Amino acid sequence: MASGLRKGLATYGDAGFSLFLRRAFIKAMGYTDEALDRPIIGITDTFSDFNPCHGNVPDLIAAVKRGVMLAGGMPMAFPTVSIHESFSHPTSMFLRNLMALDTEEMIRAQPMDAVVLIGGCDKTLPAQLMGAASADIPAIVVPTGPMLVGHHKGEVLGACTDCRRMWAKYRAGEIDEAEIDALTDRLAPTKGTCMVMGTASTVSTMVEAIGMCLPGGGSVPATHADRIRLAEASGAAAVRLARDGVKPSHILTEAAFRNALVVLQAIGGSTNALIHFTAIAGRLGIKIDLEAFDRLGLDVPVLVDLKPSGDHYMEHFHWAGGVPRLLRELAPLLDMTCPTVTGHPLAHTIAGAEIVPGQTVIRTIDAPIATGGGLAVLRGNLAPGGALLKRSAATERLMQHEGRAVVFDGLEDMTNRLDDPDLDVTADDVLVLRNAGPKGAPGMPEAGYIPIPRKLARAGVKDMVRISDARMSGTAFGTIVLHITPEAATGGPLGLVRTGDRIRLDAAARRIDLLVNDAELATRRAAYVAPPAHPGSHRGYLRLYLEQVTQADEGCDFAFCRAEG
């Protein structure tokens, strides 16, 4: 099989001419024949002035290049889409599949024997792994790493759990305009990804657990010299992976996904990670079984004490031993034979775990933070295709709750009415947001963390049961039922709920139910009017997205990108 510069020639009808032309053009960059005859290691360049979570990418690329050269390869960086959470309209999830398509096709189109995927902000590593799984050439991930913590008035702060907490205080009138402004200087004090166990940290932790990055890759802070050394080592590892022909499909096995899901439960991680890993698995023909994931939760205790479920931040997790230390604790629940990009099975990573005396961030299996897992999968007449509840971030007394529905028909309706002093709502009600799913919003925004209505927030209400077909940031907290499937916009029962209906959440029984009889629901269904088409949906990426995006239980990937096509 062709390798290096000879791979994937442009089609001119004469392979010799294609290679001749390629060599002639690339030499314009000053390369020698000796350099061009080495194995080529592609490096994704996801630096963007709009993406501070990737602010260290240039330094990481330089280090990866050094590692590749030291190991006898030829590094070649190439740009792909870069997505930052707060710089993506309408929402980053709308663009994740675009980045996955871009990454897959650029890996395929350009001659490389292995690829180093540098990403970090929430949607980027999932998109890169989706693309790399489909392209299936040797690949290794270098996460950009978490930022360091911030400080404010003697308090340690982190993006973005404390962004939400401080904003809630501002809404409740507990802090003023000047202080909320000052906080924009302090919540995200360095380059790198959010340093709580939000989506980015959850995904990077799971990427390390699944074996796609080197030990430490999931947690070394973005600004530390160790992150640079890890990038250099990853460059060298990429050359080895290319030489040995180890592809993502060799590492991303069913057993490896199960290991990653054990870790997701044990860290009380982001609900988004389940969607992302379902999408990555779907690229390889592997189905993530929601019921099996829920059962895992019954066996796997929450061991990591990080915000938003706990007290600490990613740098504390790292210095407590990071993912290898966590995996060591979870070893009885893991398949230790799974291969990794280190060239050794997972057992080897675990054997190298650092034991830090006296640390309390990573608990032992005998003294967990919570039992019963971080995430619960719910079913019921409101969510026949499933829904998620982040138990570890919920309020215990609300996990069995029956209340009156207060319905918002979409994001605009919610924005217009939520803070109306005349809104008929009490703390015992259940806030319902619909038409905020993959097709309904579109892009399934992180709107599931419905703010507490201002008048209740000012009265001291901190949590309510909130349900939606949207997602929630991994940094958010509360008794929030998400990913209700099927979504309202595709005819899901969430679209039939009316203000005043009773809704029952029973987390122990894994149920979310609308207490309205079947005959009444049938009458409502017959009278149901779907929301109007999204403006601009007749063409372009929005049209492709709306035609192809799947529901949360299939990872919201494009149907035609899944392994079965």
Q: Which residues bind ligand FES (CB under 6 A)?
A: 53, 84-85, 121-122, 160, 193-194, 198, 200
* 438: Cα separation from own chain's centroid: 15
Say if CB 122 and CB 272 are below 8 A apart. yes
**DSSP assignment, residue 200?**
H
Choose between 123 and 240: whose C-beta lies nearer to ligand FES.
Answer: 123
Residue 553, token pair as written in the block = 């239980």
| Listed residue (337, 335, 340, 338) closest to 246, CA to CA | 340
Smallest distance from ligand FES to CB 249, Å: 28
Residue 293, token pair as written in the block = 């994931």
DSSP E strand stretches across 100-199:
114-119, 139-143, 150-152, 155-157
Smallest distance from ligand FES to CB 121, Å: 3
Cα–Cα distance, 487 to 44 (Å, whole number) = 34
Smallest distance from ligand FES to CB 135, Å: 24
- Looking at the DSSP assignment, which residues form a beta bridge with residue 45? 79
Other Cβ atoms within 10 Å of 565 Cβ, number? 6
Smallest distance from ligand FES to CB 474, Å: 8
Choose between 161 and 259: whose C-beta lies nearer to ligand FES.
Answer: 161
Smallest distance from ligand FES to CB 84, Å: 6
Smallest distance from ligand FES to CB 88, Å: 10
Integer angstrom CA distances of residue 347 from 117, 231, 331, 351 = 24, 22, 8, 6
Which runs of consecutive H residues, i.e. helices, occur in 198-224?
A: 199-210
Burial class (CB in 10 A: 0-12, 13-18, 19+), 160: buried
| Listed residue (414, 162, 122) closest to 270, CA to CA | 122
Smallest distance from ligand FES to CB 160, Å: 6
Choose between 193 and 278: whose C-beta lies nearer to ligand FES.
Answer: 193
Smallest distance from ligand FES to CB 194, Å: 3
**Three-state SS letters, 382-400:** CCCCEEEEEHHHCCHHHCE
Cα–Cα distance, 433 to 469 (Å, whole number) = 7
Choose between 82 and 342: whose C-beta lies nearer to ligand FES.
Answer: 82
Say if CB 562 and CB 283 are below 8 A apart. yes
Smallest distance from ligand FES to CB 550, Å: 24
Smallest distance from ligand FES to CB 144, Å: 9
Choose between 195 and 262: whose C-beta lies nearer to ligand FES.
Answer: 195
Burial class (CB in 10 A: 0-12, 13-18, 19+), 546: middle
Cα–Cα distance, 503 to 493 (Å, whole number) = 12
**Spatial CB neighbours of 285, under 8 Å, sequence gap ≥ 6:** 562, 563, 564
Residue 178, token pair as written in the block = 């000047």
Choose between 68 and 267: whose C-beta lies nearer to ligand FES.
Answer: 267
For Cα atoms 549, 145, 142, give the angle at the middle one, nearest 5 degrees.
70
Smallest distance from ligand FES to CB 462, Å: 23
Choose between 73 and 189: whose C-beta lies nearer to ligand FES.
Answer: 189
Choose between 121 and 456: whose C-beta lies nearer to ligand FES.
Answer: 121
Other Cβ atoms within 10 Å of 154 Cβ, number? 5
Choose between 200 and 377: whose C-beta lies nearer to ligand FES.
Answer: 200
Choose between 67 and 189: whose C-beta lies nearer to ligand FES.
Answer: 189
Cα–Cα distance, 501 to 526 (Å, whole number) = 18
Smallest distance from ligand FES to CB 122, Å: 5
User: What type of residue sits at position 166?
Assistant: M
Choose between 242 and 314: whose C-beta lies nearer to ligand FES.
Answer: 314
Say if CB 316 and CB 207 are below 8 A apart. no
Smallest distance from ligand FES to CB 315, Å: 15
Choose between 83 and 407: whose C-beta lies nearer to ligand FES.
Answer: 83
Choose between 434 and 471: whose C-beta lies nearer to ligand FES.
Answer: 471
* 488: Cα separation from own chain's centroid: 23
Helix (H) or strand (E) holding 41: strand 40-45
